[in-house]
Amino acid sequence: PWAGLFFRLLPRMHMYANAGTRFETPTLSELSNNPAGTGGFASALLPQRTAAFEAGLRGEVNLSKVGRLDWELACFRAYTRDELSPYELPGQPGRTYYRNAGEVLRQGLEISFDWHPLEGLSLLMQYTFSDFRFKHFTTPAGDVSGNRLPVLPRHLGQAELRWERPEGLYFLTTLRVTGDLYADDANAVPVNGWAFLKARIGWRRRFGKISIDLFTGADNLSDARYFNNVRPNAGGGRYFEPGAGVAWLAGVRFRSSWQ
């Protein structure tokens, strides 16, 4: 069950709060890999239960000659018991098993600003601080209580500049900054953060029920060393799937509406 409150403090600012609980059973794929090697399901897996709360402020500021600023500030806290946590066995890399992770606490802060200085021009900035930790959890390798959850950065930020013209021309560039993280429950494998920059320029137009989007651009313009994926608790040290360097691209999209 979930419940929420909404209260308008000022004509252009309101406060909200939500609280609830969630019950999640293991999926078929999580149950089907049995670490005991005896076949059948991993019958020891328990469903995870979560109690969560969030509260925030959201508003709009008229900046007169320099446009409009939409903003939001929110905090959250979630407590999960018997969280389903992935891991691999050293002798079976690439095969993911699951175990219940005792008690997990997630709490943090989110801030966002969406500025519209001119018609068709916008700047979106977002930042998330995440303190995600095991409260009580002991693995076969030892007690990891108090450690940070793997593959989840403590700091995450993004800025996007977007420009669009009525005739269909558009441009956008996005900078995403990922903070340091860990690849394992023991926090023994640190991963440095990275910044990923991409850009797109294109033209889109609608002709009746058909829309066309022509675009070109590039990913990882800063040529950063980063990972497309970090496998939590990977067997044999195979945690990392590296991302590509600077990648140029071009394409066309067709969309059709039959309504």
Domain that holds residue 38: 2-256
Q: Please give the pLDDT value at position 31.
A: 87
Question: What are the mean pLDDT values of the chain's consecutive 10-residue runs (259 residues total)?
Answer: 94 97 91 76 89 98 90 98 90 83 96 95 98 94 94 97 95 98 96 97 90 96 93 90 95 84
What's phi and psi for 150, nearest 5 deg?
-70, 155
Residue corresponding to tokens 């991993």: 42
pLDDT reported for residue 195: 96
The continuous run of DSSP H or E covering 232 comes out as none
pLDDT of amino acid 158: 98
Candidates 39, 5, 38, 37; CA nearest to 19 is: 5
Count of domains for the chain? 1
Contact 79, 102 (CB under 8 A): no
Q: pTM of this prediction?
A: 0.88
CATH code (residue 132) = 2.40.170.20
Instruction: Identify the pLDDT of residue 259.
Output: 61
Containing H/E element for 228? Answer: strand 227-230
Token pair belonging to 12:
């252009």
* Among 76, 65, 62, 68, CA closest to 16: 76
